[in-house]
Chains A and B, each alone.
Chain A
Amino acid sequence: MPQDKPLNTSRVKLTQKQYQQLVSERQPKVPVLKRALRAFVSGGLICTFGQFLLETYMDVFGMTRDLASSATTATIILIGGLLTGLGYFDKIAAFAGAGVAVPVTGFANSMVSSAMEYKREGLIYGIGSHLFGLAGSVIVYGVVTAFVVGLIVSLVS
């Protein structure tokens, strides 16, 4: 549509530009700093808790650092998945935003919520084929990136 063609409404005539300006004036301003701070604190707390798990797995259970790190990731995935299943994740995410989405809790949340959403379509066509919703994107782009990066590093070195 041409930029300045008047929109045809019954009472007011606004150009596209004026309309967009009006919309952006009325839209609530996103409190960027406040939301960034919330994400910082909640994401930081998840990682601090993860660090506590990591050191507990190493010191108390005698795991190697690598094994303890894998166990920590698995534990956080389990917690994120359970919070999603119990219906608490969205409430936490409304406050924490990227603070719970960027850690693996968000990865677990995307898988559980996607699988639950399609559950009524059955075990195969529902849960099975929808387990990787957004998590599928992460794996696809992660693997392709890793292949290209690995190829370049191998060729250079």
Chain B
Amino acid sequence: MNTYLAAFLVGGLICALGQVLVDTTRFTQGHILSAFTVAGGILAGLGLYKPLIDFAGAGATLPISSFGNALAQGAINEAKRTGFMGLLSGMFELTSSGIAAAIVFSFLIALFFDPRS
């Protein structure tokens, strides 16, 4: 399948699932973000998230579930190489660029812009 179409469908479905959960349960968007991150981590452990990324590309790497997957995948990979200590030292290996970018950009933006309300 065309990767653009796969990215659209998979990314869209993950977001739609989040919206349905917000509208039909007591979960708020905040709960959903944490729940999807946890779900991504569990799917990583089951070896299911990587095939999803191979299939859908950015459709699987941009939703927040990807963050949980990357944390778990980093821990698992490093633990395989160096033993249990790798769970800690490998945890942020794959996500460090995302977290660093989020901290630097958010800080600078918050510094330069004021809330409009």
Partner-B contacts on A (CB < 8 A): 30, 32, 35-55, 69-74, 76-78, 81-82, 84-87, 97-99, 101-104, 106-108, 110-113, 115-117, 119, 127, 131, 134-135, 137-139, 141-143, 145-147, 149-154, 157
Contact = CB atoms under 8 A, between A and B. Distances in A.
Contacts, number: 265
Given A30-B23, A98-B18, A104-B62, A137 B30 contact: yes
A157 B102 CA distance: 34
Interface of B: 3-4, 7-16, 18-20, 22-24, 29-30, 32-34, 36-38, 40-42, 44-45, 56-59, 61-64, 66-68, 71-72, 74-76, 79-80, 84, 87-88, 91, 97-99, 101-103, 105-107, 109-116
B37 A104 contact: no
A44 B12 contact: yes
A143 B75 CA distance: 9
Task: Name the residue in A42, A102, A147 with the highest tally of chain B Cβ atoms < 10 Å from its Cβ.
Answer: A102
B49 to A, nearest CB: 11
Q: Looking at chain A's contact residues, is the secondary structure mostly helix, strand, loop, or mixed? A: helix
A69 B59 CA distance: 11
A41 to B, nearest CB: 6
Chain B contact surface mostly: helix
Contacts of A74: 97-98, 101, 105
B106 A103 contact: no
Given A146-B71, A149-B76, A150-B76, A102 B63 contact: yes
A47 B45 contact: no
Given A39-B12, A145-B42, A146-B74, 8 more contacts: A41-B12, A77-B102, A97-B22, A103-B63, A112-B109, A116-B115, A145-B37, A149-B76
Given A32-B24, A73-B101, A142-B71, A152 B16 contact: no
